[in-house]
Structure 1
């Protein structure tokens, strides 16, 4: 498996996911459990790595996270900040 350097970022939305999760009052574990109810199996550790930009995120995960956190895809991608 390829090691990731500290300067490498594997996604552009992790920080926005973290802010939305905190605003929703959910822990990483709670988000993981809610995703599992939607048949999206993303463990707490994976959520941490996504939020820190250390793991790529799939389109299926992005869609499910936006639904669980009740935020738009535009918001997660920062399009509403323009």
Structure 2
């Protein structure tokens, strides 16, 4: 069923996270470095899996992503493709 395609995704923000990261001109490695400086221990493989919606995102990670990318958490959910 096409209407249930969102159920195959492990998170809803991955594609927006990647889009915002690229709009900020950041590589995955650069974002990881910023996250590490803020105190989030995340590796590139985990970030890649999040961006590809193959890994869950924890609520505390949303806070770190929004701080590192200088966006509101709500921006990570804008125009979600369900």
Scaled to the shorter chain, the TM-score interval is: 0.7 to 0.9
1:1-82 alignment runs, 5 A limit: 8-78=8-78
Q: CA deviation at 1:8?
A: 2.3
SS of corresponding position for 2:8: coil
- Once superposed, which parts of structure 1, at least 4 consecutive aligned residues long, lie more than 3 Å away? none
Give per-residue Cα distances to partners, 1:14-43, cap 9 Å, x unaligned: 000000000011100111111011110110
TM-score by length of structure 2 reads 0.83
Query: C-alpha root-mean-square deviation of aligned residues, in Å?
Result: 1.4
Q: 2:8 and 2:74 mapped to 1: Cα distance?
A: 24
User: Which structure has greater helix proportion?
Assistant: 2
TM-score by length of structure 1 reads 0.83
